[in-house]
Structure 1
Amino acid sequence: MSVTPVPLRITVVGGGIGGLAAALSTARAGHHVTVVERAARFGEIGAGLQLAPNASRALDELGVLKAVRRTAVAPPQLVMMDALSGEQITSLDLRSAAYTERFTHPYLVTHRTDLHAALLAACQEHPAVTLRTGHTVTNAEQDGSGVVLHFAGTATKLTADAVVAADGLHSRLRQALVGDGEPVCSRYVAFRGALPADRMTGRMSQHAASEAVMVWAGPRMHLVQYPVRRGELYNQVAVFESDHYTPDSDAWGTEAELEERFAGACRAVRDALPLIARDRRWPLYDRLPIDNWAHGRIALLGDAAHPMLQYLAQGACQALEDAVALGQALGRFSDPADAFTAYVDQRRERAAMIQTNARRFGEICHLEGVGATLRNRLLSSRTPDDFDDASWVWAPAPAAVPAP
């Protein structure tokens, strides 16, 4: 990658996984980066996440894959089970010759805080990255020479040559630039958390010991399980559609609904429910794809650009891909507006495909009755080394950034 002769001053808004990855990629391209985070300290909330080989590849290009692998788990299989009958539907062998020949990087599962910590450490160690907390952006003004950011509770301003908005699902900068309203609620909600693996008993302990990613698919609900943090913790996510969703109320997707929706599940799934954290519910949102994430000297990244449902396990993965593409573009174009245009041109179509297909896969996962029976029959005919359907997501063809 060639480095721009004159380093730019780039501000990244948002210190989550996407924001830190963008900062690191931009700094590695030769620019000075300031990350502004509204929280009082840098950190992540949530539990586990899956890093398909496209994400591992991005982490490798960012120089942090080795650090992430110290705590991550490389599961031997992805297994899809029928949540009602308890029978296996299909599986993928992540240690087969077919996998290693087709994908150059590992499939990993990790705790969100562990991935965030690895990216944060890399940013802290990079001399061109400055980290600031307690800064809530309220407005951005740009002209042909730069961008001025305004912050809540202070008259202090920050001037940059360009700004990357990685401020998440409810991005303020997206609303200022795109103005497309609130994200779309899917009417599904998740309860999730990770607990010590030694609390697993019976069949659950067998699943934990296998280190496989288990997906229990059921009518309008599913359960995902896998180990994280060297196998010391077991991550569980229970997802279901609420019958009581109302857009102006939080009185839906309750614990009572959780129990009701999973009441007909098999014993293994029912045994898991009492061990799933109940302290917070997570409504699931996405948006329809948009054509342009770049507006002059301001570009969107991650959930601010393309929020997606989690059914392809690609939310964080796509933010990491964004970060790599952004750094590549900023390493080749001296004008940040040109770099942002090239970055969006490289990423737009792929991210949109994953956004829309994540919805479709959720529909397939949550089929009931005859639909579920047909799904199971079709998928059961697959072999564990058949990666044709996953390849377009996990091993995208590299897209070249146009020459300046």
Structure 2
Amino acid sequence: MAQKQNTLRVGLVGAGIGGLAAAIAIARAGADVTVLEAAQELGEIGAGIQMTPNAARLLRAWGVDKVIGDNLVRFEELNLRRKDGTKVGGGPTIRVEKTLGQPWWLVHRAHLHEGLVDVARKNGCDIHIDSRVASISYQTPGPVQVQTERGATFSFDLLIGSDGVGSIVRRTLFPSVKPSPPTTNCAYRAVVPYSQIRKDPSLVELVSKPTMEVWMAPHAYIITYPISAGKDFNMVLSHHRPNPVIAVEDVDMNDFRNDYRDFDPRIRKIIDMVPTAKRWPLLVTGPLDTWSSPQKNVVLMGDAAHSMVNHMAQGAATAMEDGAFLGRVLRETVSGRLSLAEAITIYEKSRMPKAYFKQQVSFLNGYIWHLPEGQAAINRDKAMEVELKGEQPMRTPNLYVDPTTVLEVYGYDAEADADEAIRSFLEQHESKDESTGITKKEADKILNWFLPEEERFLIPSKF
């Protein structure tokens, strides 16, 4: 068993959503946490993001939801449509929320990030901006040494790479690994004020209540939902390009609008209101054989380890799960029940297959939404017909409400999973009598409960 430690110094490279979530969870576990952020000021770029129930669970557990407040928006229903606007599936989200006991929130990335920063600092995390990492030394005995481009040096017992798809931590550990787009699929992000949309009477149905809308089309889709206390209409517009997109690109707005020229006239009107947009790559990392150094003193999380396509809204959520899981296992390192190497081993063994599962589900949902016209799309829409009648099918191509997928993806509890993984690990590694193979757990359950203390576990010589 590990010896009790008084302190555990943990460094995180990257103060994005996943890194800050990990910082909060690890600080709550009793470790000393330092976050090194390359940017000159804290903030988050982009637009809206979904905090599905598996992520909302963590925001509530850490009190981040109280800080964000009304900027966490709940929506009433999800509607799946053909590109002409015809509804083919969907239903009320309250069914998912009641089943899982957690809300499904929509939020601007900036508001989410601000809430995480606030709670991280309240939990004692030391956040350094303008601290781009230049080098990492982890192979010699002793702590991990980190130097920034500005010449500052840091020493950590554990270094966590939470620095996204361009991770310097991953490049240090695995220089040959390079995130890449699995297809030519990419996405625009855009925001339009509801006040502007409501000026057009023909758009009332789309904005009369908080809903999530998905327009599916061959090789493209549009998903929309409210953010910023219901003031802004957020859009993610998926499409394909002739060649894979590997970096954020400026776009010609005529090209932007032309990609959706044959969609529902109502959503086209809103697209025409977008002043500027950028094209974002959808990069996938891994699956990797390991996320850590051989010494288990450097480890990856989030997009640095397992970036995925965005079609199930699980990129940030999965990074937050990583952080929550790390917080639980490192709590046992702080208490002395697990060594650092054991904690990281448990984390990798549990989280690596879960992240790979999320990568697959995300890709497959995108495939469902991008189906070309033909029998496959007809079958997809036919399978969702019962949803329009208010019924809940046992199985549906609408993965946002499919019972199995909802439980496996949105019903996942990272902290409970970590607790179970720790319990299982400790049971497998508990002491046992070398000659009989009897473990203390079974001896306590069957025999030791009635024996005098001096004769308890283990007594092979008396057998």
Give the structure-1-normalised TM-score. Answer: 0.91
Label 1:53 to 1:277 Cα distance change in 2 as closer, same or farther (>3 A). Answer: farther
User: Corresponding residue for 2:340?
Assistant: 336
| Residue equivalent to 2:121 | 124
Change (3 A) 1:130 1:153: closer
2:158 maps to what in 1?
Answer: 162
What's the CA shift for 1:187? 1.8
CA distance in 2: counterparts of 1:251 and 1:332, whole angstroms:
44
Query: 1:344: how far off?
Result: 1.7
**1:76-99 Cα shifts (integer Å, max 9, x gaps):** 11211111x210111131124xx3
The one-letter code of the counterpart of 2:87 is Q
Tell me by how many angstroms 1:203 deviates: 4.1
Equivalent-residue separation in structure 1 for 2:120 and 2:302 (angstroms)? 18
> Which residue does the alignment assign to 1:327?
327
Shift of 1:194: 2.1
Aligned residue in 1 for 2:100: 103
Cα distance, 1:251 vs. partner? 7.9
Classify 1:247/1:81 alpha carbon distance in 2 versus 1 (closer, same or farther; 3 Å): closer
CA distance in structure 2 between the partners assigned to 1:173 and 1:49 by the alignment: 25
SS where residue 316 of structure 1 aligns?
helix
Which one-letter code corresponds to 2:265 in the other structure? R
Query: 5+ residue gaps in structure 1?
Result: none
Asked if the contact 1:208/1:226 (under 8 Å) is kept, the reply is no
The Cα offsets for residues 334-353 of structure 1, whole Å up to 9 and x where unpaired, read as 43232222122221111110
Q: For 2:248 and 2:128, how far apart are their aligned partners in 1?
A: 33
TM-superposed CA distance for 1:277, in Å, is 4.9
Give the C-alpha shift of residue 197 in structure 1: 1.3
CA distance in structure 2 between the partners assigned to 1:357 and 1:254 by the alignment: 32
- In structure 2, what is the Cα distance between the partners aligned to 1:110 and 1:77? 16
Are 1:369 and 2:373 counterparts? yes
RMSD, aligned CA: 2.2
> Which residue of structure 2 lines up, in the alignment, with residue 280 of structure 1?
278
Seen in structure 2, the aligned counterparts of structure 1 residues 357 and 320 have a Cα distance that, compared at 3 Å, is same
Could you report, residue by residue, the CA deviation over 1:305-364 in whole angstroms, capped at 9, with x for unpaired residues? 110100001111111111110100100124323222212222111111010121111111
Partners of 1:115 and 1:273 lie apart in 2 by: 25
CA 401–249 in structure 1, closer or farther in 2 if over 3 Å, else same = closer
Superposed CA deviations along residues 118-158 of structure 1, whole A, max 9, x for unmatched, are 0001112223x11101111122111342100122242x321
Q: 2:226 aligns to what?
A: 227
Map 1:127-138 to 2 at 5 A: 127=124, 129-138=125-134
Q: 1:363 & 1:321 partners in 2: Cα distance?
A: 25
How has the CA–CA distance of structure 1 residues 248 and 79 changed in structure 2, closer, same or farther, with 3 Å as cutoff? closer
Q: Is this contact kept in 1: 2:184–2:245, CA < 8 A?
A: no
What TM-score does the superposition give when structure 2 sets the normalisation length? 0.80
Cα pair 1:237 1:276 within 8 Å, conserved = no
Q: 3-state DSSP class of the match of 2:40?
A: coil
Partner in structure 2 of residue 191 of structure 1 = 188
Query: Which residue identity lines up with residue 80 of structure 1 in the other structure?
Result: L
Cα offsets for 1:177-197 (capped at 9, x unmatched):
123432112322222122321
Give yes or no for contact 1:192–1:277 (8 Å, CA) kept in 2.
no
Equivalent residue number for residue 358 of structure 2: 354
CA displacement at 1:253 relative to structure 2:
6.9
**Contact 2:79–2:91 under 8 Å retained in 1:** yes
The aligned counterpart of 2:28 is 28
Moved more, 10-19 or 268-277: 268-277
Secondary structure in 2 aligned to 1:231? coil
* Change in 2 beyond 3 A, CA 1:69/1:314: farther
Q: Which has the larger radius of gyration?
A: 2
Count of residues paired in the alignment: 395
Partners of 2:318 and 2:227 lie apart in 1 by: 20
Deviations 1:238-293 (A, max 9, x none): 121012x2678988975444333312212122212112352422122113322321
Structure 1 match to 2:45: 45
SS at match of 1:210: coil
Distance 2:359 2:204 in 1: 34
Q: Within 5 A, what are the aligned runs for 1:55-70? A: 55-70=55-70
CA contact (8 A) 1:49 1:313 kept: yes
Change (3 A) 1:275 1:236: farther
Going from structure 1 to structure 2, the CA distance change for 1:20 and 1:100 (only over 3 Å counts) comes to closer
User: Amino acid of the residue matched to residue 421 of structure 2?
Assistant: V
Question: Structure 2: which amino acid aligns with 1:21?
Answer: A
Rounded to whole Å, the distance in 2 between the matches of 1:166 and 1:189 is 23
The one of the two structures with greater contact order (alpha-carbon pairs below 8 A, sep at least 6) is 1
Bigger mean CA deviation after superposition, 311-320 or 292-301 = 292-301
For residue 336 of structure 1, what is the amino acid of its counterpart? L
Question: Is 2:261 the counterpart of 1:263?
Answer: yes
Distance, in Å, in 1 between the alignment partners of 2:255 and 2:241 is: 7
Q: CA deviation at 1:37?
A: 0.2
Q: d(CA) in 2 for partners of 1:79 and 1:320?
A: 27
**Residue identity opposite 2:79 in structure 1:** V
Match of 1:9 in 2: 9
Provide the identity percentage: 26
5+ residue gaps, structure 2: 394-400, 427-463
